[in-house]
Structure 1
Amino acid sequence: MVYEKACHLPAELEIKAHWAKKFLNSDFTASREKRKVQLQELEEMCLNTYESSKLYEERTNRYHERKILHREFKPGQQVLLYNLRLKLFPRKLKSRWSGPFTVKGIKPYGAIEIEDQSKDCSKLVNGKRLNIYLGGEVPQHIIVIKLKDP
């Protein structure tokens, strides 16, 4: 007798679960429409997020473009060259700018051909390493300081 009650209990629960499932899933058209609306809302949120990130990127690009110094070099113009490889001496003792050089020609993609008038040689450098030279003659002084013995 104990076994009969144990066997009927799961069948009753199964029937109740079946009726609950049938009751919850009875209206398929309404659930389909609700799911479509949710998917459309999700897609709209994704598009809004994409648009706002695009606007943010454009604003930051404009800000950085304003900070960049745009230099235009012309043939015959005097320029100074920034020496990146000068690591033997500390910066305080020796300037990293060398020159003046004369612009000989302008190549595509920012490359500029400069000519050293004292050595009569030319080389091709990146335009970002150049700066317009506004002064006259560059002083090439060597200062010797002699210390007295006490």
Structure 2
Amino acid sequence: MEHKALWALKFMNFDPSKTQNKRKRQMLELEEMRLKLFPRKLKSNWSGPFIVKSMRTHGEIELVDPSASDQQRSWVVNGQRLKLYLEGEVERLSIVMKLVDP
């Protein structure tokens, strides 16, 4: 069985460095295509206090940014992605225990 596998690799002229370079080129081409199709990046991390304007069916929530210049501008997000906003710093508690050999 090993002989057949070795023969198949030689027959296909398997070269790991060529395969690696080919895969890198393919990944770069895919990234270029993605940038052409979706030129602007999505804002995935947004935080701050937002006002809930309305709740829709299936858990969609319409939000408004109170600090924005246009108060009528709103967007719809999945309600499961929202978290409570705690204004200011959150106090973190820690406990220190000293261990002693008996």
Q: TM-score, normalised by structure 2?
A: 0.37
The answer to which structure has the higher helix fraction is 1
Q: Which has the higher contact order (CA 8 A, sep 6+)?
A: 1
Q: TM-score, normalised by structure 1?
A: 0.26
